[in-house]
Chain A
């Protein structure tokens, strides 16, 4: 067994493949070698017909064969000799067959490395498949077959998948990172690069997996987290539950390295007296020198605030991880909010109870107050499993104090009578602990325990004796009658530990029971040879002590016992006897030491401290495996102590590359979707107060607020699923106490704004199509007339392109329409009527019930222009009239800005050569030769994002078409004497040439 386990440990080593092969053959019963081979000959026959079935042309037969093989694998039988037959089917069209082959491959590839290589090309092809599910599963299998030769291929595949369009594939690549790392730790540096890239990913699907990879590959590279910290905090609520657990535990570690301790301030709440004592000392000296009150880092607060709702999760692991986060990070007076949720978990499965109770046990030692109100939840039921019972007992003991001890003791009385004797014994120990901890009840407990001495069950009596011994040691003066009583018991008790305890007790206090003690010794001398070792030792002890105090009566008895001990079979006892004899019996050789014999043997001994077994558990992070098993598990990451001085906070600031102008209309559009805009307005108010430095933006905030105060008539009926996310976005701030002030409530402005502009629902939707759609670099203020007030009989309408990704459908272009009533009567039921061309897809705004005279309202709608500049014609209707209107997009408005790196840009450009490229040389005006105005001009013309460029004279821009998502690349290369070459690469060559024409005009203009 032992050798087997050592082998197991090497599985994950680099060379693990080979050893695994051997072990697989050793352990599986149907191995090709060794004895017992003949017994399984039937299996071989069966495998032969499986092989035949696999080589058959019929899909159904193959599938049947694969199903049977999977059955073999599940039972742990060896099916490795079928490898060649199975691997042929890896490229099968039948998806179920293919999946089963994958299962087989992953299981056996490590053993059949050469044959496994045959399948690699299939996966490489599948990695390019248009179906994301196939791409992902190909990567999963490719990374799961642990064949060292293909490491470079895996590396390449991971890198490519990490920038895949589909977040699902990116998630798979995050998992693959860990697999590759365990196969070849030398790849670490390259893998860290991929992790760094994936950490930037904004998809909630990826976040959990990449943090997992981070924890596994490079948990020490805490610097990679800085820039993503706020994003992770904000995404947390939307991440899937398993990811939440991983992220929370990582952030706990992170926070302990980055923030200062919030605990110093309120040492009052610290019930751990010792620590409070030290800390308050420190505090005094510190307070004198620097009068700087503790303020919590806003990022620290952000983490606490964003994790709190997760206490309501149905996943017990999530609740526990939030609880440990609060325990390790929150100010002392806030920790107790987790209590209720932890107690709730006790209703869950037995295994969950076990872990949660363990953690509560550790917590309750330091913070009784947290769980005291819930004391009754820890009452033991007769149906609980034994380990649950003892944990509950532990907690009840921890919670005991002067006020509730009588209740607890009454409860304990019931437990002592339990049929589960092991539990009854545990209860007695618990009573003993209560007795030492709370001096008021010591006597009561002692009397109760003495009563138990007459119990019929031996284990109960024995345990009582042991506990009484400990208690008496603490205050022996008044209890000689108890000792007498126990001496009487010696005749009946057979449990050796209890007998030994009684003997020790009598020996220790022999002077208090001068008559009984020699008698006990007499009895023991009689039965000495038949006693257990531990009892013999104590008998020798008792004899020695009596010899010293009462040698007249016991001299002969002692010598008799020492003689018996001298020839005992156990060397411990022979040893002890020899030692005692030398010590107490004076003779010429012993001399010096025997003078001190009395002082040595009868020295006053300190009373034992009855402590919780969970006393030291808090050195491990709560909720971890290490905490549960109370030893350091492999891979356990220590939680560092708070730094004395907080590291630089600004590392977490996320700089904004392009100054984004917030368009008032966007804000309105956003708040349309916000079900409780009052909350978010608070938020934004605060953020605006934070952002004094960017004054241009704060007056936009002002505008936004005005807009928000519009009457609820324009409250859009939102698409059903969105307000969950919206509501998530508007974090609850009700429970942030007023005392914390703005700096605590709000993270820094940039992340707030990011939130407001691009709530997850945008990015999540679009990320399906393209990885990173960025905000527009420029939003034209210019609005176009849709309906003149004269033709519209008082209804005037204007439209403009917001250049934002459309909320309703990713392939639509979002258009903002402001409607004004210039007439003197109210207009009712403004809505969109017929449209042409007939197939035109428009997401209409909801019918506006009425519009008062002189009032105006802004609504947003989405139009699918289908990547053409053909005008969208439709009817704008009121209750009485219908007006035909049309919206004519400029070619530049049909794009969405995209951010990409220069490298990616080049790569994309390489793919779009020839037909897909058009270029022109123009003369630009002098002012357009510098980058700023040039960028602005291009961005004004078309909704494209600036690509950071290494060369001064080359400017690059990237976008994609709204409808089909085709990539658009614009390059402007400035030459000497104000000449410039504009190159446009796109599949949509018509749009490309139209844009080229517009750009030519724009850049040549002054």
Chain B
């Protein structure tokens, strides 16, 4: 399956290689570099590149390309999913997944890769199991290891590997037993010129941080489970129970994990209306014009809250890719700061919090290339924002119960709405 792995940084250097079968010369990456040169943006490198004798499947994360070398037929998603899992593991172990972090921990990286694949086939990818095999590096442990000469490598087969609950290790102990759940919803929307919604969807996840002693068995129920249209679960969730009772019943892994991701279909939100209408929490008033023949353009942007259920809209960030003809901008924000990069033509406006009484606006002029004709398209505006303590779909957790252990855990649930791919066409 996966023959070799090369890690390539943004400047096109291979800084790590690992082979699971015979050694494949790193010159195979030349095909990848060719494709990289051809692509205008780093994202445009095709994920699958056929070469005369191998196939290169790559993913781009944190500005590092993870290039896997394949020799024969394999489902490409299998490789892609695995590579992303590798990145997730690195992130989990080192906090960040950067070139420097990987280079600093090259031995742990190698040990991890060795455990994760055998003969190119995934062996242990569950973070809980890996952490029992190879302990994540911490400053304290490094110090202890140098003094006592003990190692990062576990000596026993992790219990999870063989038990009926492969995602949880046994013998977990905490003095403070706590379970936190974050319901995070992202709204993806496209708003057209006139302000009407073209598409809007809500994608949600429930991320959990569970630190509970022993083998707790949790159930989580919702006030309005019918909202959830399409769900995918962490393997720990009992599917049958969900099918029958719409209750999430599971033995949680230890630590952080994604319990559930879901999609809220717009039909469910408005049972009476068949068209899709997700509440859009912000609106944008814009007036961006270029005049023929003049070297000036007008730029006006005003943001305002709308259908936010009384919660404030925070951390608002606007960015927009202005047309190539724009040389520079002279804008005046009523709040926050704005930057314009004349090379990439990227306009960024860090708005902060929206005050409903005094709406933030960005007004001014753009100077255009002299003599060039007026750009025939207006830029798209991408908006990011956060709304705390509310899930846009109205999803509410009813209760969380624990069975199987005697102590009383501390439970916490947090809601948040974020902008996903929120675009306004002008």
Contact = CB atoms under 8 A, between A and B. Distances in A.
A563 interface: no
Interface stretch (B172-180, B306-314, B373-381): B373-381
Given A209-B121, A382-B321, A624 B75 contact: yes
Given A76-B26, A418-B377, A317 B425 contact: no
Q: Could you tell me the dominant secondary structure of chain B's interface residues?
A: mixed
A456 B240 contact: no
B257 to A, nearest CB: 10
Given A12-B71, A633-B55, A720-B215, A27 B377 contact: no
B73 A635 contact: yes
B261 interface: yes
A352 B76 CA distance: 9
- Interface residue tally on B, bucketed by range: 35 or more
B156 interface: yes
Contacts of B70: 625
Contacts of B236: 724
Interface in A753-800: 761, 764-765, 768
Nearest to A16: B22
Contacts of A351: 47, 57-60, 80, 84
B138 interface: no
Contacts of B61: 349
Contacts of A1: 27, 30
B240 A730 contact: yes
Nearest to A352: B80
Interface string B398-424: 000001100000000000000001010
A71 B107 contact: yes
B225 interface: no
A321 B27 contact: no
Interface in A32-90: 59-60, 63, 67, 70-71, 73-76
Contacts of A477: none
A9 B22 CA distance: 11
Interface in A307-353: 309, 312-317, 319-321, 340-341, 343-344, 347, 349-352
A312 B46 contact: no
A314 B240 contact: no
Contacts, number: 312
A951 interface: no
B276 interface: yes
- Interface residue tally on A, bucketed by range: 35 or more
Nearest to B190: A379
A631 B50 contact: yes
Nearest to A321: B75
B276 A99 contact: no
Interface stretch (B10-18, B91-99, B331-339, B360-368): B10-18
Interface in A349-374: 349-352, 354-356
B287 interface: no
Interface stretch (B109-117, B293-301, B348-356): B109-117
A675 B241 contact: yes
A385 to B, nearest CB: 4
Interface string A84-102: 0000000000111101101
B57 to A, nearest CB: 8
Contacts of B323: 419
A629 B238 contact: no
B77 to A, nearest CB: 4
A209 B78 CA distance: 14
B240 A728 contact: yes
A212 interface: yes
B21 interface: yes
B250 to A, nearest CB: 8
Given A178-B119, A312-B233, A383 B75 contact: no
Given A8-B24, A8-B54, A320 B109 contact: no
Interface string B60-87: 1100000000111111111011101000
A724 B75 contact: no
Contacts of A808: none
Contact of A6 (B53, B106, B164): B53
B241 A720 contact: no
A673 interface: no
A121 B207 CA distance: 49
A530 B217 CA distance: 79
Interface string B377-391: 111101000000000
Given A350-B43, A385-B43, A414-B425, A341 B122 contact: no
Given A1-B30, A4-B25, A12-B21, A625 B238 contact: no
B136 to A, nearest CB: 14
B324 interface: yes
B151 A386 contact: no
A136 B141 CA distance: 27
A242 B121 CA distance: 8
B235 A314 contact: yes
B118 interface: yes
Interface in B195-213: 198-199, 201, 203
B234 interface: yes
Given A27-B27, A383-B421, A456 B376 contact: yes
Given A312-B231, A349-B59, A676-B244, A242 B156 contact: no
A95 B81 contact: no
Nearest to A418: B377
A132 interface: yes
A728 B52 CA distance: 45
B51 A5 contact: yes
A249 interface: yes
Contacts of A74: 16-18, 106, 109-110
A175 B229 contact: no
Contact of A131 (B30, B74, B156, B235): B156
B75 A387 contact: no
Contacts of A75: 15-17
Nearest to B379: A419
Contact of B239 (A76, A146, A727): A727
A133 B377 CA distance: 63
A567 interface: no
A140 interface: yes
Contact of B110 (A20, A70, A679): A70
B161 interface: yes
Nearest to B425: A414
Given A9-B53, A414-B192, 5 more contacts: A5-B52, A5-B53, A455-B376, A625-B70, A629-B55
15 contacts: A27-B27, A143-B119, A237-B239, A312-B231, A340-B230, A354-B47, A354-B48, A355-B48, A379-B199, A383-B421, A383-B423, A679-B240, A720-B403, A724-B250, A727-B239
User: Lowest 3 CB-CB distances: which A-B pairs, in order?
Assistant: A635-B72, A727-B240, A96-B151
